[in-house]
Chain A
Amino acid sequence: MEQLLRFLMRYGGTFLFVILEVFSLLIVVNQNSFQHASFLSSSNQVAASVLNAESSVTSYFGLETTNRQLAIENTALQNRVALLQGRLELLKDSTHGDLQIAPDQAYHYVSAKVIGNSINKLQNYITLNKGRLDGVKPEMGVVNDQGVVGIVTAVSDHFAAVMSLLNSKSQLSCKIKRTNDFGRLVWNGVDSDFAQLLEVPRHADVRVGDTLITSGFSAIFPEGIPVGIVTQSSRPSASSYYDITAKLTAQFRTLTYVKVIQYQNQEELQTVQKEGEQ
């Protein structure tokens, strides 16, 4: 006993050091299993409240830009409503009024404010002021009117942590709008404006200026949401795939308001996909 005490007195610091370091490292190595743990993420109530207080001050600085973006989005939506209304009238006329349109809204959007957002790390996250009580759950997609932003990883009652596209662990299934060729979008950590599209086969026809949209495979994003514009594409001779760089359409530096996508049939689709794999 005395020896043990003497040992701890002499080497206690080192002993504690080793314990703390092993513990931290275990958390780092198993970070995927901690990803959904809300108390360890920025959706933690206390942490998010601090971020929220900060953003309630700083958000005033961006009001003008935000306003302009909202006005543009508003106009686009109004135009769309007008167009669809016109079509509806036309359909009604041609079917003599007994047209039935089934309520089929598979996707529902929840608007949220960005209260925390980093782009200076390899693994960037965004914190939103909407959480479980607003219907936000992990694995939901996040977009703004410019394009895809990220995927929710952890939620608390009032806040959510979102893995940004600017995260070396993020993977997004995309396709080229013009040719329907599929690929996987990842971020190499270098430039916060550009991401890389992998696994597009050599025989595909990819041109600079092509638009990338979501593929709709994942049950997280509906098909057709803009992701990026191809700025560079080459076919390295050693590889059977293209080397594609795309400029992201969402501007991560100035994110203020985003929408969380609730896909009503997400669980059903995931179950079917899982069953299909077995």
Chain B
Amino acid sequence: MSGNQLLKHFIRFAFLIILQVVIFDNIRFLGYINPLLYIWFILGLPSTINRSFLLILAFITGTILDIFSNTPGMYAFATVFVAYFRAPLLKLVVPRDDVSSSYEPSVKSLGFPVFLKYAAVLIVLLHLLLFTLEAFSFVHYELVLIKTIINSSLTLLLVLSLQKTKT
């Protein structure tokens, strides 16, 4: 990563975490609106990033959010999980001839349909994991599914709309 890129990702990291803890973890409307926009940080990191480094970044991100929302281990688990399956998924959805060069997954670099596939899978996975861990039993499975559907859509929408204005 060049210095410029590094700075961009760091700013995005700080901005998304503050947004997550100050706004998205504290929405007091209806009682189940909790989009997890912070994952955009993980989604947007360069494709050639060292795998172990990515996992550690994901773990740090998750732990910070766990501290803020008193959910020890939950955000960390879900974020590391998503980070691990990022590379195999990219290999799967991105056309072959693009694989060798480095790129940052976005609507601009991948095109809308490919990015949508990539982002949607990981975002749904993240919400499902986090809400299931939070429920910690299958008693609440209906609630977990509803929360996953609503909040995944919201997160995806937010990621896509932020892409249009900022790359």
Minimum CB distance partner of A190 in chain B: B143
- Given A120-B34, A189-B135, A192-B31, verify A13-B55 contact (CB < 8 Å): yes
Which listed residue (A17, A26, A47, A192) contacts B73, Cβ 8 A?
Answer: A26
* B34 in contact with A24 (CB, 8 Å): no
* B69 in contact with A34 (CB, 8 Å): no
> Interface extent on A, as a size class?
35 or more
- Given A50-B21, A125-B69, A189-B140, verify A28-B133 contact (CB < 8 Å): yes
Q: What 1/0 flags go to A107-122 for Cβ under 8 Å of B?
A: 0000000001111111
In the complex, whether A51 has a CB less than 8 A from a CB of chain B is yes
* B27 in contact with A120 (CB, 8 Å): yes
Q: How far is the CA of A44 from the CA of B64 in the complex (A)?
A: 11
* B26 in contact with A116 (CB, 8 Å): yes
Q: How far is the CA of A21 from the CA of B55 in the complex (A)?
A: 10
* A117 in contact with B26 (CB, 8 Å): yes
Q: What 1/0 flags go to B49-92 for Cβ under 8 Å of A?
A: 00110011001001000111111111011001100100000000
Interfacial residues of chain A within 98-146, with CB under 8 A of chain B in the complex: 116-123, 125
Chain B, interface SS category: helix
Q: How far is the CA of A23 from the CA of B62 in the complex (A)?
A: 13
* A20 in contact with B72 (CB, 8 Å): no
In the complex, whether B25 has a CB less than 8 A from a CB of chain A is yes
* B73 in contact with A28 (CB, 8 Å): yes
* B26 in contact with A118 (CB, 8 Å): yes
Q: How far is the CA of A31 from the CA of B77 in the complex (A)?
A: 13
Interfacial residues of chain A within 1-52, with CB under 8 A of chain B in the complex: 12-14, 16-17, 20-21, 23-28, 31, 34, 37, 39-42, 44, 47, 50-51
In the complex, whether A253 has a CB less than 8 A from a CB of chain B is yes
* B72 in contact with A40 (CB, 8 Å): yes
* B73 in contact with A161 (CB, 8 Å): no
Cβ contacts under 8 Å, A223 to chain B = none
Minimum CB distance partner of A12 in chain B: B52
* A42 in contact with B69 (CB, 8 Å): yes
Cβ contacts under 8 Å, B34 to chain A = 120-121
Minimum CB distance partner of A154 in chain B: B70
Cβ contacts under 8 Å, A24 to chain B = 59, 62, 73-74, 76-77, 80
Which B residues form the contact surface with A (CB < 8 A)?
18, 21-22, 25-28, 30-34, 51-52, 55-56, 59, 62, 66-74, 76-77, 80-81, 84, 131, 133-136, 140, 143
